[in-house]
């Protein structure tokens, strides 16, 4: 009797139509689409970069317009113009320490949101040392120490934007992997140059990919804090820095200060703009 009842119940259960899980709809579906767009662009950037032939370091890169020695310092203005990086890096670290010691802060709703900024301002400060070392005696060997801390700052910025726009947990857990990618991209180029086969493609993906991905995230995902316009200000300063770098010699002949010197100042201004952003920002009030 029990066996017959079990068989009958099983048949009834099997007869019940199976309903497929509902596909994401509304805000969840839109968020999923945005994540696919972001992931597709990241994959496209990598594919395009590695579809190109390896890119070695151009030896002419070290031939800067302003090679004047002052006070016994070779390439003096290119060396000394790194001082603002040290100032901004130290200023940023002091601000973070004071903000943390002050208890609850509207600038950071979660304490882990400070982590990328600790790394970012350390990278900015170390850029002063690495870049000054490189410009004292420009070569591929010393250029490694210029680029290494810059990749740290780039990856920390990307981690912060992911955490504040997409997912706090994702930003926190991606910080170390992103830093590893940045460091390895520089090491890959450096070791390759030592072996006569330098390749800047991974480094280019880290640097220029960040400049593409950050504004895309800003456009696709809602803000957690005010100050979105400041992020575009940071990108504007960096674009200006790259323009100065490109027209190094022309700028020097026009105004007596090299484009590369001005590049350092514009880049440091961009780092300061990040500090300005987090000093002034407040949480975005969720819509009612």
Residue 287 has a pLDDT of 40
Residues 6+ positions from 177 with CB-CB distance below 8 Å = none
Residue 2 has a pLDDT of 47
For residue 255, what are the CA distances in angstroms to 70, 79, 90, 240, 259?
18, 19, 31, 17, 10
For residue 9, what are the CA distances in angstroms to 6, 12, 13, 82, 146?
5, 5, 6, 79, 73
Residue 21 has a pLDDT of 54
SS3 content of the chain, % helix, strand, coil (to 5): 75, 0, 25
Given a contact cutoff of 8 angstroms between Cβ atoms, the answer to whether 189 and 200 are in contact is yes
At 73, give phi and psi (nearest 5°).
-100, 115
At 108, give phi and psi (nearest 5°).
-140, 105
- Please identify every stretch of the chain with a pLDDT value under 50, giving residue numbers as ranges: 1-2, 5-7, 9, 11, 13, 16, 287-288
Closest CA to 117 of 90, 96, 91: 96
For residue 191, what are the CA distances in angstroms to 58, 125, 181, 187, 213?
16, 25, 15, 6, 27
The pTM of this model reads 0.88
Residue 120 has a pLDDT of 98
Residue 70 has a pLDDT of 96
Given a contact cutoff of 8 angstroms between Cβ atoms, the answer to whether 269 and 237 are in contact is yes
Residue 105 has a pLDDT of 85
Contacts of the segment 125-128: beta carbons below 8 A, 24+ positions apart = 125/85, 125/86, 125/88, 125/89, 125/90, 125/93, 126/89, 126/152, 127/82, 127/85, 127/89, 127/153, 128/82, 128/83, 128/84, 128/85, 128/86, 128/89
Give all domains of the chain, ordered by start, each with its CATH number.
74-280 (1.20.1070.10)
Q: Could you give the dihedral angle defined by the CA atoms of residues 147, 150, 156 and 160, in that order, rounded to the nearest 10 degrees?
A: -140
């Amino acid at each position: 009797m029990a066996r017959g009842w079990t068989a009958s119940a099983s048949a009834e259960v099997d007869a019940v139509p199976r309903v497929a899980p509902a596909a994401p709809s509304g805000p969840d579906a839109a968020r999923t689409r945005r994540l696919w767009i972001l992931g597709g662009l990241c994959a496209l950037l990598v594919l395009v970069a590695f579809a190109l032939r390896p890119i070695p370091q151009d030896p002419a890169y070290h031939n800067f317009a302003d090679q004047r020695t002052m006070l016994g310092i070779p390439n003096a203005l290119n060396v000394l113009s790194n001082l603002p990086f040290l100032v901004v890096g130290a200023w940023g670290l002091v601000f973070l320490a004071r903000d943390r010691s002050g208890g609850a802060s509207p600038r950071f709703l979660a304490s882990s949101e400070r982590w990328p900024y600790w790394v970012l301002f350390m990278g900015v400060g170390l850029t002063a040392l690495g870049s000054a070392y490189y410009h004292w005696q420009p070569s591929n060997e010393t250029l490694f120490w210029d680029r290494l801390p810059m990749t740290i700052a780039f990856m920390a910025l990307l981690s912060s934007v992911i955490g504040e726009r997409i997912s706090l947990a994702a930003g926190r857990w991606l910080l170390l992997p992103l830093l590893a990618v940045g460091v390895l991209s520089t090491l890959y180029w450096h070791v390759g140059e030592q072996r006569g086969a330098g390749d800047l493609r991974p480094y280019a993906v880290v640097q220029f990919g960040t400049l593409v991905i950050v504004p895309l995230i800003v456009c696709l995902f809602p803000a957690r804090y005010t100050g979105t316009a400041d992020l575009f200000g940071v990108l504007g300063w960096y674009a200006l820095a790259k323009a100065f770098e490109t027209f190094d010699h022309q700028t020097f002949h026009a105004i007596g200060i090299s484009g590369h010197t001005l590049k350092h100042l514009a880049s440091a201004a961009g780092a300061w703009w990040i500090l300005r952003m987090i000093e002034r920002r407040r949480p975005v009030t969720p819509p009612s």
